[in-house]
Structure 1
Amino acid sequence: MFRAFLAVCWVLLVSLPAWALNAGLGAPPPTVDRQTPQSTVKGFLAEAHAGNYAVAAHYLDLDFLPRDKQPETGAQLARRLKFVLDRKLPVDLSTLSSEPEGDPAEARFDQIGTISLEGAEVSIRVQRVLGNGGTPVWVFSESTVKEVDRLFSAYGPVLTEVLPDFFFKRTVLGLEAWQWLGLLLVLGGGWALSLLLERLSLAFTMRLARWTKFSWDDALVDAGRGPLRLPYYAVLVALGTSVLLLPRPVQTLFARLSYSLTIVAVAWFILRFLKVSSLYVQQRVASKNPNDADRIRGLSTQLAVLRHVLEVATYVIAAALLLMQFEVVRNVGVSLLASAGLAGLVIGLAAQKSISTLLAGIQLSVTQPIRMGDKVVVEGEFGTVEEISLTYVVVRIWDNRRLVIPIAQFLDKPFQNWSRSHSEMLGEVILQVDYFADIDVLRAELKRILENEGRQLWDGKVQSVVVLNVLDKTLSVRALVSADSNNLFDLRCLVRERLVVFLRGRPGWLPTVRSETRPVTPAGEPSPSALAPAPRA
């Protein structure tokens, strides 16, 4: 009789253990929190992503399984449910109830979402049941757990039945060994495949470009070498990581990486496009107007400034697109726009100098008081305009030093531009000679110098010698010559040197100091011999 009573009690304990949920798993660890729907789903995902599938099984309703199968089958179901949720049902914990009673409208259930399977919708939800000791707890419902195998067969990893168990037993940083292996293959193989696709694409487009008569498209295709590789790589990484069933944070990371690579590639190609197009236009104009140096320099200046403006705009837009994918930066931007009253005024005042400099650069490219290659005298230095940016101008002065000048200075202060309308200039050489110097002979000597030694520097237009001033002891003579602004300095030096050599051979024409002595008669008048000029010193 006693043995029969014990047998009945054993059957009752095995079949209806209302106070022992998942009795085959044993007592849940203290870290298991199943008090609310939100804590249950959060705890399950945390343990599953950490690879603690045995602990994650405590968040499932496994009472439909025999107790001896609950540990092994429960861990397997927890792992499979993790992959299904990561791939098909991103969980938003904020939508789940954080109250022990759950959502009053859902009674004993809290719906997480639904997943399409074979034309039907499978509900994923947690259910409130009696746990150990009769305390109500929340677990994934029995109906949901029973559908895990079917969902995993449809949306689980493809190679799960092929690879050894080693690849599925442990996780490192939330990823199983097969996922790490897949990432290495995707990242390395994707880069190699992107290089191959880039070469094939460039070879095909270059073949098409060579059919045209223009060289611009050839240069443009060559400019795609590098930028074209990144979009291919971004697409391959996105496709490759999608089949690895990565956790949601890791998926988000690679999605942002692919997006960032695409933005960088587009910005990189735009910068290359601007450079190639600017160079092509300059070469095109130079080939059609080889003798119109003024127009070529003016166009080069406009293209340089316009290119700088577009490059800055490209950098700003690309940086904005990269930062906008981060929620923190986006919220900061919205907050700044919302409070843009006083802040906007302060920023505007602070950026006034930068904005005025930018506008000065644009104004300089339109009005063109200076152009690339112009000969200028600024800050007391003579040089050639070598570079014009949005904020400064680089002038290469005669000794190859570089003078960097704020661009606004060319609009606010006067300067000399020797190439503004044309490059023809007049240069003077001043000499001091004696009153007895023959000016006509000097004119002939100047003509001889220009037609012989200076024929490569002189433009053949202006040559003159005039008495510029009469001083008390000498005559100030000016020799005036004309030349291109590039040659004027050298021509003046040559004329000055040759005329000095010419005057050396005529000592009587050099500046001379004279003195007179006049003897006085007893009557106090100079003698007639004293009126004769004194000999030269």
Structure 2
Amino acid sequence: MFRVLPVLCALVLASLPAWALNAGLGPPPPTVDRQTPHATVRGFLEAAHAGDYKRAAFYLDLDFLPRGEQAEKGPQLARRLKFVMDRKLPVDLSALNQTPEGDPADGRFDQLGTIPLEGAAVPIRVQRVVADDGALVWVFSESTVKQVDHLFQEYGPLLAETLPAIFFRSSVLGLEPWQWLGLIVVLVAGWVMAVLLERVSLAVTMRLAKWTRVSWDDSLVGAGRGPVRLPYYAVLLALGTSFLLLPRPVQRVIDRVCYSLLIIAVAWFVLRFLRVSAAFVHDKVSSKTRDATRLRSLSTQLAVLRHVFEVATYVIASALLLMQFEVVRNVGVSLLASAGLAGLVIGLAAQKSISTLLAGIQLSITQPIRMGDTVVVENEWGTVEEITLTYVVVKVWDERRLVVPITQFLDKSFQNWGKGGSQMLGDVLLQVDYSTDIDALRAELKRILENEGRELWDGKVQTVVVLNVLEKTLAVRALVSAEPSKLFDLRCLVRERLIVFLRTRPGWLPTVRSETRPVVAGGEQANPGQPTGPAPVPRA
């Protein structure tokens, strides 16, 4: 069998006419389309990127080689031409002629471009020649194929010819085994090198930051751990893959990945910068002032402004990432072109969102509420726990969380107990008998505040006054002052202790008095001016 096969191949070659194109390769497969310059270049690139260099060789003019060498040299020349074109001559297939006659100015040649070589420009052309069946086909010209070896020596991969042949015989997903191996090495080694470069850079930068008296730069250097690694990795990845001579579609993916890493690194660092800067400003101000009102105001401004810049960072980074893709870019251009109706629709749809965003910015400037303020909203009493661009979280007294749209604090009225300062007045209303000693109540209130209520009372206001004289009782008001968050507990304590004090004093609680008189004949009362006896009845 092995002896008969060479004989059969020799008979097939001998049967071909002497003028047959690439007679040493044999008849072309049915999938080979060489009718137009466009079909030839496209077919060559598809076959070469698929690793089918034997089929790609049919798109070359190999007649300058002896027939016995064409089957061996043809695939090798096709492989080398693929690397050269991928690296130095990007081809726009849409610009190639798609008619069998080619360029009307020169019907025999169609030039793809030129590649510099040793001070000269080597033209890369496809030429119309006669095939073995007498038909006219387009192939890469003989002059171009003769220069492939010289071009490959100048622009080809460095180690592709020194590795064992198994590394470049076949192709998987358009990449040869040596390219896959190199890509894995670049990905892993690049990440390791990026981590090492990040550590060295941060160590040097931290040492420089220690020379200053400000702690902000020290925190900023620490925040760079992570974001600094990505630019190093992107640069190393771009440099490493440039030696692999990857196909243009694969290289385009690598370039976009590197570009995306740079954008992500910048956005990541900006977010870290905002967090570190906000914390530094807050700590700096809190160390120089003990005014709780100013600190809450500053915390609110920093929180809202930080949210604004974070949202802007996310939007810009997302836009830059999406603009890499042609589909998204075309959509953006189309939207801009139809900005009339589309802008109106989008504006109406986003009206609520935009108004909410602007309300958040306005709240950070005007500050009707601040972090830590005690408020009464929606008939709920609580403390402002979180302020975002769209809503406010109020911690209710029973540990519930009330989420209120931020526009409500600008459109509707609410109570802010912490707006005027750190002091509020609270009253305790009591009804006592006319015989009650008001001075004794004042003394008892002072005792309660100075002993049991010393942790709640701020030591400023303590008064007891007769607020009103009713028909049967006196309305007494005890007025105390405390911080907004402690006022409710203090009022409850004072009310409870004063009730206990009144119960220990006979007759001081409200009583109802009545009189009984004897009735004589005719319905008249006896001794109308003399009460027969009081009957006090305590009123609950």
TM-score range, shorter chain: over 0.9
Q: Describe the superposition over 1:34-68 as per-residue Cα deviations: whole angstroms up to 9, x where unpaired.
A: 00001000000000111111111000000000000
Per mean C-alpha deviation after superposition, the further-off stretch among 431-440 and 382-391 is 431-440
Number of equivalences: 524
- In structure 2, runs of 5+ residues without a counterpart are 1-10
Q: Describe the superposition over 1:94-147 as per-residue Cα deviations: whole angstroms up to 9, x where unpaired.
A: 121111011112331101011111111111111111112211110000010000
Task: Write the distance in 2 (CA, Å) between the matches of 1:344 and 1:17.
Answer: 70
Q: Describe the superposition over 1:452-478 as per-residue Cα deviations: whole angstroms up to 9, x where unpaired.
A: 222232222211112223333322211
- Partner SS, residue 222 of structure 1: helix
Task: Write the distance in 1 (CA, Å) between the matches of 2:451 and 2:203.
Answer: 58
Partner of 1:356: 355
**1:15 Cα offset (Å):** 12
Q: Is the 8 A contact 1:520 1:527 kept in 2?
A: no
Task: Indicate yes or no: 2:289 matched with 1:294.
Answer: no
Task: Write the distance in 2 (CA, Å) between the matches of 1:45 and 1:273.
Answer: 48
RMSD over aligned CA atoms reads: 1.7
Q: Is the 8 A contact 2:375 2:417 kept in 1?
A: yes
- In the TM superposition, 1:354-503 aligns within 5 A as 354-503=353-502
Q: Describe the superposition over 1:211-264 as per-residue Cα deviations: whole angstroms up to 9, x where unpaired.
A: 111010011111111111111111111111111111111000100010011111
1:391 partner letter: T
Per mean C-alpha deviation after superposition, the further-off stretch among 366-375 and 472-481 is 472-481
Q: Describe the superposition over 1:171-223 as per-residue Cα deviations: whole angstroms up to 9, x where unpaired.
A: 11111110010111011111111111111111110111111110100111111
Task: Write the distance in 2 (CA, Å) between the matches of 1:464 and 1:319.
Answer: 62
Q: Is the 8 A contact 1:231 1:262 kept in 2?
A: yes
Q: Is the 8 A contact 1:519 1:530 kept in 2?
A: no
- Partner SS, residue 332 of structure 1: helix
Task: Write the distance in 2 (CA, Å) between the matches of 1:526 and 1:350.
Answer: 87
Q: Describe the superposition over 1:263-314 as per-residue Cα deviations: whole angstroms up to 9, x where unpaired.
A: 111111101101111111111111111x211111111111111111111111
Q: Is the 8 A contact 2:16 2:23 kept in 1?
A: no
Partner of 1:182: 182
TM-score by length of 2: 0.94
2:406 partner letter: I
Task: Write the distance in 2 (CA, Å) between the matches of 1:182 and 1:106.
Answer: 43
Partner of 1:57: 57
- In the TM superposition, 1:251-266 aligns within 5 A as 251-266=251-266
Task: Write the distance in 2 (CA, Å) between the matches of 1:94 and 1:517.
Answer: 118
2:43 partner letter: G
Task: Write the distance in 2 (CA, Å) between the matches of 1:479 and 1:533.
Answer: 35
2:188 partner letter: G
Task: Indicate yes or no: 2:324 matched with 1:329.
Answer: no
Task: Write the distance in 2 (CA, Å) between the matches of 1:433 and 1:421.
Answer: 33
Task: Write the distance in 2 (CA, Å) between the matches of 1:427 and 1:472.
Answer: 26
Partner of 1:17: 18
Task: Indicate yes or no: 2:239 matched with 1:236.
Answer: no
**1:163 Cα offset (Å):** 1.0
Task: Write the distance in 2 (CA, Å) between the matches of 1:511 and 1:191.
Answer: 84
Task: Write the distance in 1 (CA, Å) between the matches of 2:363 and 2:68.
Answer: 85
Q: Is the 8 A contact 2:516 2:533 kept in 1?
A: no
Summarize the Cα distance change of 1:15–1:47 in structure 2 as closer, same or farther, 3 Å threshold: closer
Task: Write the distance in 1 (CA, Å) between the matches of 2:528 and 2:155.
Answer: 134
**1:529 Cα offset (Å):** 7.5
Task: Write the distance in 1 (CA, Å) between the matches of 2:471 and 2:149.
Answer: 118
**1:525 Cα offset (Å):** 4.0
Q: Is the 8 A contact 1:521 1:527 kept in 2?
A: no
Q: Is the 8 A contact 1:385 1:394 kept in 2?
A: yes
Q: Describe the superposition over 1:13-41 as per-residue Cα deviations: whole angstroms up to 9, x where unpaired.
A: 899833x1001111100000000001000
Task: Write the distance in 1 (CA, Å) between the matches of 2:106 and 2:267.
Answer: 51
Partner of 1:160: 160
2:372 partner letter: G
Per mean C-alpha deviation after superposition, the further-off stretch among 411-420 and 441-450 is 441-450
- In the TM superposition, 1:76-87 aligns within 5 A as 76-87=76-87
**1:528 Cα offset (Å):** 6.3
1:23 partner letter: A
1:249 partner letter: P
Q: Is the 8 A contact 1:517 1:530 kept in 2?
A: no
Q: Describe the superposition over 1:390-426 as per-residue Cα deviations: whole angstroms up to 9, x where unpaired.
A: 0000111112211110000000111000111212110
Q: Describe the superposition over 1:482-504 as per-residue Cα deviations: whole angstroms up to 9, x where unpaired.
A: 11212211211111111111112
Task: Write the distance in 1 (CA, Å) between the matches of 2:469 and 2:122.
Answer: 112
**1:515 Cα offset (Å):** 2.1
- Partner SS, residue 310 of structure 2: helix
- Partner SS, residue 172 of structure 1: coil
- Partner SS, residue 455 of structure 1: coil
- Partner SS, residue 71 of structure 1: helix
Task: Write the distance in 2 (CA, Å) between the matches of 1:155 and 1:51.
Answer: 19
Partner of 1:105: 105
Per mean C-alpha deviation after superposition, the further-off stretch among 444-453 and 202-211 is 444-453
Task: Write the distance in 2 (CA, Å) between the matches of 1:328 and 1:528.
Answer: 106
Q: Is the 8 A contact 1:81 1:152 kept in 2?
A: yes
Q: Is the 8 A contact 2:517 2:532 kept in 1?
A: no
**1:533 Cα offset (Å):** 4.8
**1:439 Cα offset (Å):** 1.4
Q: Is the 8 A contact 1:324 1:330 kept in 2?
A: yes
1:59 partner letter: Y
- Partner SS, residue 436 of structure 1: coil
Task: Write the distance in 1 (CA, Å) between the matches of 2:42 and 2:372.
Answer: 68
Q: Which stretches of structure 1, 4 residues or more, deviate above 4 A after TM superposition? A: 13-16
- In the TM superposition, 1:262-341 aligns within 5 A as 262-289=262-289, 291-341=290-340
Q: Is the 8 A contact 1:169 1:176 kept in 2?
A: yes
2:368 partner letter: P
- Partner SS, residue 518 of structure 2: coil
2:349 partner letter: A
- Partner SS, residue 531 of structure 1: coil
- Partner SS, residue 112 of structure 2: strand
Q: Describe the superposition over 1:312-362 as per-residue Cα deviations: whole angstroms up to 9, x where unpaired.
A: 111111111001111111011000100010110011011110111111111
Task: Write the distance in 1 (CA, Å) between the matches of 2:161 and 2:43.
Answer: 28
Task: Write the distance in 1 (CA, Å) between the matches of 2:106 and 2:95.
Answer: 13
Task: Write the distance in 2 (CA, Å) between the matches of 1:322 and 1:528.
Answer: 101
